[in-house]
Amino acid sequence: MATPTPTSEEIHDERLVIDVIDDIAAKHPERVWGSFPVSDSDLSAGFQDVTYRSLSHAIDTAAFWLDSVLGEEDGDVFAFYGDRDFRQAILAAAAAKTGRQFQFINAWSSESAKLGLLSYTQCKVWIHTDTGRALASSLTKARHGLRAIECLSQAELLESAPEHPYPSRITWEEAQDKTWIILHTTGSTGNPKPVRWTHKAFRSTDRFKRFKDFGESKIAMFQNQRLFQPLACAHSMGLVTSLDIVPSMNAPMVIGPRDRMPTVSDIREIFKYGRVNGMYSTPIFVKQLTEHDDLLAQLRSFAFVYYGGAKADRHWGDLLYKHTSVGPIFGSTETGHVHLRKLDGPDWHWYDFYAWEGVAFEEVKPGLFEMVFNRVPGQWQHAFSSHPDLDQYRTRDLWVRHPAKPTLWAYHGRADDFVMLTCGDGVDAPYLQEKLEACPAVQMAMVGGQGKDRPWLLLELKQSVTRQANQGWVVDMFRVLDEINETLPYITKISSKRIIIASPDKPFARTAKQALDRNKTVELYKDEIAALDMATA
């Protein structure tokens, strides 16, 4: 399907997001920005659309409210932690209007990780929704000087009508390169790092519209489509989508219930009553939906089914590509949104990058290439916004080249063994392995699960243990595992059902320096891993 070339009136790449929203609200007040369930307990009750007029009013109301509850002593950064609704986007936009910075905190990060992030940014204010009172109380006790404030409800914001617009304190010229939203890396060790996104970083989609080959891109498929984003704004993927892609592409974002991650049953109702015709999510959701014939048929009728944040299972994409545009969207907190050409046919899972993004691949092992970003003169690149002193940014992501089409690439894994799950969260394998190897019975540990729903653990025991009839080591090992799991988000915890004990006659593969050779060890135990995945699917 051809995508029309945008007119100059539709391109706002040198305007602040808040100004773009207000401009749309003035010219097209009834245009829909987003939609959410009328009732979280009964999705068949329908969905409430949020128009740009309502959104603009909500942002102004939130801006006035921020000024009323925050003082100079609170600094210019506040953190927000909330439900799976639109308040993250509204409060972020209000932060921009008031000249403040919005610190996004992932709902799945541990409490120690949250405290670490607040310490990094010297944040003094924690704004939360009504469901976050207990966490707010715990954080304020743990961090001296942190003040907790309960946010207005989503209804109070969206149903508001301020007497006059909020007088924005910033302009594009003075604010484009200043920090607006502070995201953070995954950091499953409890030490995620903040990554500062400028106002310019959120104009990626509109900047791309100026390129002549915009129409052949994946992002062009979003134009005028009503997309479902299951993570809502409680995940950075949803937050960036709501503030960049949605207003740039007139692609209203439909979300699920605010009090839970949507189940398959929920999504069936969302598709029916939310009038969805496109989907952008992490792979795990699409995988689950393709296992149901009615939902598979629904996905096939969509304009697109795109995913990001993790590697996908080829099987479900092969069920879709003959019927709809399916494939990956590439982006990260460090590199921002990196645009891709749309690929049709069986190559749907490969990545086709644009040269102007500065993406290059350097061979680090036979057949494996590390993705790097090279600075392109005159071209704004997100990676160098975060690292202005560099001319090359190394991602430590490993890729493989298409055997017949040299411009196509497929993601292989992390150079530093950071295991990415289908939900988009990661597991820092070396960190966990070090903890497990402290157990007296364990010779070597390997944590894996790249592209899977949950991680697995492969243990090589010491020879003295394998010869013992006494199984006391099991108690010690599970005690250590329980301690580790206490520090991890739920989805990255290692289940006792996903542990393999290595056979004494099949030791782990090792490098010349006697370090773990992950790739060879996975190959050595591929049958056992496959059986484990089958048994715990």
State yes or no: pLDDT of 4 exceeds 50.
no
pLDDT band at 413 (very low <50, low <70, confident <90, very high): confident
Specify whether 366 is located in the same domain as 452. no
Specify whether 407 is located in the same domain as 438. no
Euclidean distance between the first and the last CA atom of the chain, given in angstroms as a whole number: 37
State yes or no: pLDDT of 221 exceeds 60.
yes
User: The domain containing residue 266 runs over which residues?
Assistant: 8-349
Average pLDDT estimate for 142-171: 94
What 8-state DSSP symbol labels residue 143?
S
Instruction: Show which of 349, 374, 404 is a domain's final residue.
Output: 349
State yes or no: pLDDT of 6 exceeds 60.
no
What's the pLDDT at 112? 86
**Beta partners for residue 326, in sequence order:** 305
Average pLDDT estimate for 132-159: 96
Average pLDDT estimate for 321-331: 95
Average pLDDT estimate for 118-139: 96
pLDDT band at 2 (very low <50, low <70, confident <90, very high): very low
Specify whether 157 is located in the same domain as 222. yes
What's the pLDDT at 467? 58
State yes or no: pLDDT of 339 exceeds 50.
yes
What's the pLDDT at 319? 96
Instruction: Show which of 415, 447, 464 is a domain's final residue.
Output: 415
Mean pLDDT, all residues of the chain: 90
Give the pTM: 0.81
Is 433 part of a structural domain of the chain?
A: yes
Determine the residue type at 109. S
CA 501 centroid distance within chain: 33
pLDDT one-digit tens code per residue, 478-522: 888 998 888 888 888 999 999 999 999 999 988 644 568 888 899
Q: What is the CATH number of the domain that holds 455?
A: 3.30.300.30
Average pLDDT estimate for 151-157: 97
Is 526 part of a structural domain of the chain?
A: yes
Neighbours of 337 (CB within 10 A): 22
State yes or no: pLDDT of 113 exceeds 50.
yes
Share of the chain above pLDDT 70, in %: 95
State yes or no: pLDDT of 527 exceeds 90.
yes
Is 2 part of a structural domain of the chain?
A: no
Average pLDDT estimate for 47-76: 96
Cβ neighbours for 130, distance < 8 A, ≥ 6 positions apart: 150, 153
Q: What is the CATH number of the domain that holds 291?
A: 3.40.50.12780
Specify whether 238 is located in the same domain as 377. no
Specify whether 97 is located in the same domain as 196. yes
What's the pLDDT at 361? 97
Neighbours of 309 (CB within 10 A): 26
Q: Positive or negative CA dihedral for 514, 516, 519, 524? A: positive
Using the structure block, give the residue that is written with the tokens 């102004």.
60
Average pLDDT estimate for 316-340: 94
pLDDT one-digit tens code per residue, 386-407: 888 999 999 988 899 999 999 9
What's the pLDDT at 488? 86
State yes or no: pLDDT of 471 exceeds 80.
no
Determine the residue type at 118. L
State yes or no: pLDDT of 190 exceeds 80.
no
State yes or no: pLDDT of 186 exceeds 90.
no
Instruction: Show which of 297, 330, 349 is a domain's final residue.
Output: 349
SS3 at position 394: strand
Reading the block at residue 124, the tokens are 């003094």
What's the pLDDT at 378? 86
Specify whether 173 is located in the same domain as 211. yes
Specify whether 129 is located in the same domain as 192. yes
Specify whether 320 is located in the same domain as 469. no
Specify whether 116 is located in the same domain as 191. yes
Specify whether 383 is located in the same domain as 527. no
Specify whether 276 is located in the same domain as 396. no
Is 201 part of a structural domain of the chain?
A: yes
Reading the block at residue 444, the tokens are 């070597």
What's the pLDDT at 1? 36
pLDDT one-digit tens code per residue, 361-377: 999 878 889 999 999 99
What's the pLDDT at 149? 98
pLDDT band at 49 (very low <50, low <70, confident <90, very high): very high
pLDDT band at 7 (very low <50, low <70, confident <90, very high): very low
State yes or no: pLDDT of 189 exceeds 50.
no
Specify whether 245 is located in the same domain as 109. yes
Q: Positive or negative CA dihedral for 469, 470, 476, 482? A: positive
Is 3 part of a structural domain of the chain?
A: no
Domain count, the chain: 3
What's the pLDDT at 338? 94
Is 1 part of a structural domain of the chain?
A: no
What's the pLDDT at 8? 46
Q: Positive or negative CA dihedral for 288, 293, 294, 298? A: positive
What's the pLDDT at 466? 62
Reading the block at residue 31, the tokens are 């245009």
